[in-house]
Amino acid sequence: MNSKLIALTFALAFSAPAFAVEQRMVLLKPAGVFDGLDGKTHAGWQVLVQGDRIAAVGANLTAPAGAQVVDLPGTTLMPGMIEGHDHLFLHPYNETTWDDQVLHEPLALRTARAVAQAKTTLMAGFTTVRDLGTEGAGYADVGLKAAINQGIVPGPRMEVATRAIVALGAYGPKGFEPGVEIPQGAEEASGVDAIVAAARRQIGAGADWVKLYADYRWGPGEESRPTLSLEEMKAAVAAAHDAGRLVAAHAGTAEGMRRATAAGVDTIEHGSGGTPEVFAAMAAKNIAFCPTLAAPDAIARYRGWNGAEPAPEGVQASRKAFQMALKAKVPMCMGGDVGVFSHGQNAREMELMVAAGMSAADAAVAATHGNAKWFKLDKKLGAVSQGLLADLIAVEGDPAADIAAVRKVRMVMKGGVVQ
């Protein structure tokens, strides 16, 4: 069944006013169900949706009286995917450089683009995103999240990190007259008290996550070096956890990762400089790793790489770190640093994870129940299980056998409503 026919089927199914939205029942009959929990596709399973929740899952379900029955032949029904590292307020760097987006694009323009990119992301099958920083767009992610939640604009559920926190002098844009204050891509702070104040300020403004930059480049062309001290990160983590928020750490160096791990962050992003010792420590503390393989891959292509092997050094470093993390059995997050490349192409990260050694089934789990678990969302979404939110997508093929299936999205349902 093609996407237009599926859309028509759902339009007819939901046209009958017999039930209020909260009572409306729909029985979905795909070829199989990938529940996100065990890495398997269960042939013959069906899913009953009532209102915004999954009411039943299993084989040979009987449609209750008044329920609409929707056949989805040739498709696998799976949880709506969760993008683990997004920047809805950025767009690809080969269109406009990061510096120019931060310095020259008006906030209204960036917000309008983010609205469009949110819809594109949703229709690509990603019903939830963790947006890890507006990169100079202030608290606009809090407003976008509210607009989506209120039904003003379509988009995925959002977990937001607002401005993110960087060490004083360590971030950008740079390259201007010393002493002249330039708008920054994140909030600068220095010292334990200032870091705690920044974290609390962002939480008070609506942050679900506190993002810390454990390391960065002090100057153009330099290698990344640790920026925040262990004491600063520990204080920020304690403040965030006290407030019931989680902490993500940008860390590309072994020392930055070591400090972030010792500080007790919840996820570490990028990690291309990771070592077996660092990954073992992360595994021991159950800290999830978000390798963002797609970001260095995209940047290398912008610089002229055609995909031929041997890959550029940055791409190889990210692959090697990912493989070390797999070997160490580090909890694996799926997130591509979307915004560096086009929104809606989020599946690129999953394909690169599989190409680097992860099974298709494990990549699909990472993008569903895995991310839900590491982001503390698994009590309400991330799996096809009774009682969870009916965030479901139908894809052509079997994602447990071929990860490319997640690019062939034929239906998106969010909270029981087809988008």
Within this chain, do residues 64 and 96 fall inside the same structural domain, yes or no? no
Within this chain, do residues 132 and 122 fall inside the same structural domain, yes or no? yes
In a domain, 326, yes or no: yes
In a domain, 371, yes or no: no
Contact 161, 131 (CB under 8 A): yes
Within this chain, do residues 85 and 232 fall inside the same structural domain, yes or no? yes
First-to-last C-alpha distance (Å) of the chain: 17
Helix (H, G, I), strand (E, B) or coil at 327: helix
- Number of domains the chain is built from: 2
Question: Is the dihedral angle over the CA atoms 71, 75, 76, 77 positive or is it negative?
Answer: negative
Residue range of the domain that includes 64? 3-80+381-418
Within this chain, do residues 273 and 138 fall inside the same structural domain, yes or no? yes
Task: Enumerate the H helices of 105-220 as residue ranges.
Answer: 107-123, 140-149, 192-204
pLDDT of residue 183: 93
Question: Which tens digits make up the pLDDT trace of 99-117?
Answer: 999 999 999 999 999 999 9
Looking only at the bridges linking them, the beta strands covering 417-418 and 392-396 are unpaired
pLDDT of residue 223: 93
Q: Is the pLDDT of residue 10 over 80?
A: no
Within this chain, do residues 130 and 111 fall inside the same structural domain, yes or no? yes
Q: Is the pLDDT of residue 160 over 50?
A: yes
pLDDT of residue 8: 46
CATH number of 38's domain: 2.30.40.10
pLDDT of residue 220: 83
In a domain, 45, yes or no: yes
Within this chain, do residues 187 and 303 fall inside the same structural domain, yes or no? yes
Within this chain, do residues 94 and 167 fall inside the same structural domain, yes or no? yes
pLDDT of residue 21: 55
Q: Is the pLDDT of residue 15 over 50?
A: no
pLDDT of residue 406: 98
Query: How far from chain centre, in Å, is Cα 67?
Result: 33
